[in-house]
Structure 1
Amino acid sequence: MVELPPGVAGSEDGGDLARRAAASVPPRGKVLVVDDQKNMRATTAIVLRQAGHVVEEAEDGAAAVQRLQQETFDVVLTDLRMPSVDGMEVLRAAQRLAPETQVIVMTAYGTIESAVDAIREGAYDFLAKPFKEDELLLRVSKALEKRRLLGEVSLFAGEFRKRYGLEHVIGRSAAMREVLDRVVRVAPTDATVLVTGESGTGKELVARAIHVASRRGDKPFVPVNCAAITETLLESELFGHAKGAFTGAIRARRGLFEEANGGTLFIDEVGETAPGFQAKLLRALQEGEIRRVGESAPVQVDVRIIAATNQDLRRAISERRFREDLYYRLAVVPVRIPPLRERREDIPLLAAHFVQRYNRRTAEGKILIPEALARLVEHEWPGNVRELENAIEQAAALSPSREIRAGDVHIEAVRDVGPGRDEDRRTLAEAVEDAERRTIEAALARCEGDLGRVARELGVSPTTLWRRMKRLAIDARGAVPPA
């Protein structure tokens, strides 16, 4: 079952952590009643107030839009037919200004066409006038329940995430909860962290979150991409150099270690570094001091190191491309970011986030319809979140209407994987899955089916291991599932 978050037409929501975080949200709601007929508006408001809701009134669509710009409502109950600014415009304004607000449209004309149009535009429900009090209260109650669930997620994504610098780390899957839990626990310490994961999974976002939530959060966060700097310049870039240390060094220069003093140095693509540089980096970590190129005097630095790589450093160690002692210095706390194909339930959330960001930037009101979302969920995403973001941006820009349809989403279709498939024509995702399968099966054989030992050896939780075994169809007979 696919959960559809705000920004995706027909949304539903959930989340145990968020639900506990917002357990204190009161059951009554704040409702805006919009109707140009004063008697109808006043009567509806009275019924809702008697049920315990906080109710505000707007005499027409223009007044409603102005109120929505000034404050937030849980539910907007709006007449559909109004002069100048009608109920559809009120609906669009609510979606633009407060996407979690639930809109119920009222119409005295009650046609199927008007109801379908309103629902298609993103309304939660509709009421045909005249309606009974019980029917009104039931529809509002259901809309408030949906708003409450969305509010719980908003609380989790707002206060909790802001506190720990996680505003841009999107996901509520079990795999991402493991990541967030580890981030929250390691952030207050000064432990060195190694963030691993495929390209496009958001390793730097996680590194920044760790920094923001640490005691160094008000100090510099200095990133450096080792793959973007030549080997000859990398040492100078990180450690600095003296005047005349090499050709072109016309003045002394502080390195990034000194720039990050008191804060965090994020060393991205650390697996791309050469062994000679690795030895100097290891010394800096061990001694808490650096030597500028061309100088012999050490410089003391107080820097927390977070490193990241998309490479398998254990394999690099076995191939003598990476120092084992440096690996253990960096991987005091390893954090693995799962690829998008391992957390497909996060794709609707990410898609909605990117659609909303596009709408804020362009002042448009694009909506991703379920058929398009289903296509996104089916894709393997070898480029992970970065590829998904690109696909959403492209689809939103090229869609001729407000709705982003399946035909607007231009991604390579997922190819079937069958027996006898040409090994040379496998996708990257298929190759990775094959490697995962072989690694897990070999570990199962070594550990004689003991999933606890296998999980420890592979550096994942037993639950994650069991889930991957099921996804990869690994024969688990004789193995005991985690409690």
Structure 2
Amino acid sequence: MNGTILVADDDAAIRTVLSQALSRAGYDVRITSNASTLWRWVAEGEGDCVISDVVMPDENLFDLLPRMKKMRPDLPIIVMSAQNTFMTAIRASENGAYEYLPKPFDLVELTAIIERALQEGRRKPSSSDNAVAAKDESMPLVGRSPAMQEIYRVLARMMQSDLTVLINGESGTGKELVARALHEYGKRKKGPFVAINMAAIPRDLIESELFGHEKGAFTGAHSRATGRFEQAENGTLFLDEIGDMPMDAQTRLLRVLQQGEYTTVGGRTPIRTNVRIVTATNKELRSLINQGLFREDLYYRLNVVPLRIPPLRERIQDIPDLVGHFLKKVQEEGLEEKRLLPEAIETLSRYSWPGNVRELENLVRRLAALYPQDEITADVVSVELQSTEEGSTPDIGSTESNTDLTIAQAVELNMQKYFNSFGDSLPPPGLYHRLLSELEYPLLMATLTATRGNQIKAADVLGLNRNTLRKKIRDLGVSVFKG
């Protein structure tokens, strides 16, 4: 015999299928429908490998698993579950499971996992020694589709590792959520999580943002500034849209990955760093390498663990769970409880979702905020989706007249476009004051253009004293309309 496999599941059909399949593979198989029998077998030293469901009539496996691992730390335990959530995979990993398999699973894959576990002789070092305290079951990642199950399994394996992860996915798929999950459920959870979007930072400031700068390093550097690496010390640094990083900054990042140290802009003393790097992109990095826009050696350093986040159109079966998740969120934020009727969910499932999960969340928020009825119908959803497809939301850049558009609406629409341009990340800090300072110039330009350069009329529209307007025109370098 190749070994004895202990199988525990309260489903008779699954017990029968596993018994027959594993027996044909040459294993001695013992089956039970309850946790107490499984515990007795393990306590008596029986079995070379365990395959067990999570929910059983007498005890939850996650309550039993730590005791089994304490008594027999080298016994590989494979967890299978129909509760295919991110937290199930994480709890399996935290409690020392050898592998997690969502139901339904592939028998060929299961057999290969058993063979690998037995060949290793003992399980890899148990993460149960560093198991985190019980966490809120509110999930950072939502979905039960096969594509998401594979992501959960990879994340569970990576939680107790510092390996560099490269997340690839379209805008709106939730790349930063995945990066945060890696941090918040990993061994660096007590450290900071720092995110920076390469596409959102002026290219000539990226190195300063990442590594910090010394006083006088460049014009405007009036004092020493800490960079994101220093802010993320002992934690995780998430570099979003890594494909937009300039070549000079790529070279400096490569040195950090190779030598574990960096220097500030304008500095000379190397600084040791202890940071886990997680990166993300919605671009094809190999194409950028071929164009000479991305370093190949840096790519291999970053792509140690590749992780692809599927677009929503590839995981349509997750829409009901996602809708429920977002409705719960908006209710917690103060909006009234809503429910989407089954026909409305079906309507959502037929849409292509070019904006992915972010677009779905925005739609759910809009439905919850704008419609008073408790139950949202398919007709309401169809109207909203049609408006989205036709682009009927007022567009400030449009040449069409829209006299009903208020200033607040104009700002809101353009700010939404601004936030969307950052993908899964957020704008750099200081947005409030930056917005106010940058708003004056286009405001004065637009007003002077509308008044054909008449400063008296412009001052009246703006509600400013004429002398104040003249001073602002001079200080901001506004070109006065000549018509």
TM-score by length of 1: 0.53
1:21 corresponds to: 54
* 1:218 correspondence with 2:168: no
What are the residue-to-residue correspondences of 1:74-89 with 2, within 5 Å?
none
2:189 partner SS: coil
* Match 1:261 to one of 209, 217, 233: 233
2:385 corresponds to: 411
2:360 corresponds to: 388
Gaps of at least 5 residues in structure 1 are 1-18, 28-148, 416-483
1:180 corresponds to: 152
What are the residue-to-residue correspondences of 1:441-480 with 2, within 5 Å?
none
Q: Contact conserved, 1:170 with 1:350, CA < 8 A, in 2?
A: yes
Q: Contact conserved, 2:197 with 2:241, CA < 8 A, in 1?
A: yes
* 1:238 correspondence with 2:238: no
* 1:317 correspondence with 2:289: yes
* Aligned equivalents of 2:260, 2:367: Cα separation in 1: 49
* Match 2:330 to one of 358, 370, 375: 358
Distance 1:364-1:225 versus aligned 2 partners, 3 A rule: same
* Aligned equivalents of 2:271, 2:221: Cα separation in 1: 19
Distance 1:254-1:405 versus aligned 2 partners, 3 A rule: same
Q: Contact conserved, 2:90 with 2:156, CA < 8 A, in 1?
A: no
1:94 corresponds to: none
Distance 1:154-1:276 versus aligned 2 partners, 3 A rule: closer
* Match 2:278 to one of 296, 306, 315: 306
Q: Contact conserved, 1:220 with 1:262, CA < 8 A, in 2?
A: yes
* 1:193 correspondence with 2:165: yes
List per-residue Cα deviations over 1:3-27 (Å, max 9, x = no partner): xxxxxxxxxxxxxxxx933234789
Equivalent pairs: percent with the same residue? Answer: 47
Cα RMSD of the aligned pairs, angstroms, is: 2.8
Q: Contact conserved, 1:366 with 1:403, CA < 8 A, in 2?
A: yes
- For 2:232, give the aligned amino acid: A
List per-residue Cα deviations over 1:287-340 (Å, max 9, x = no partner): 100110011211111111000111111111112111111110001001110111
2:53 partner SS: helix
* 1:270 correspondence with 2:303: no
What are the residue-to-residue correspondences of 1:53-452 with 2, within 5 Å?
156=88, 167-362=139-334, 364-409=336-381, 410-412=384-386
2:177 partner SS: helix
Distance 1:371-1:302 versus aligned 2 partners, 3 A rule: same
- For 2:266, give the aligned amino acid: G
Distance 1:279-1:157 versus aligned 2 partners, 3 A rule: closer
Q: Contact conserved, 1:165 with 1:213, CA < 8 A, in 2?
A: no
Q: Contact conserved, 1:266 with 1:305, CA < 8 A, in 2?
A: yes
2:333 partner SS: helix
List per-residue Cα deviations over 1:163-203 (Å, max 9, x = no partner): 59982200111000101110110121111110110001111
2:30 corresponds to: none
Q: Contact conserved, 1:165 with 1:209, CA < 8 A, in 2?
A: no
The alignment of Structure 1 onto Structure 2 pairs a total of residues equal to 276
Distance 1:280-1:152 versus aligned 2 partners, 3 A rule: closer
1:241 partner SS: coil
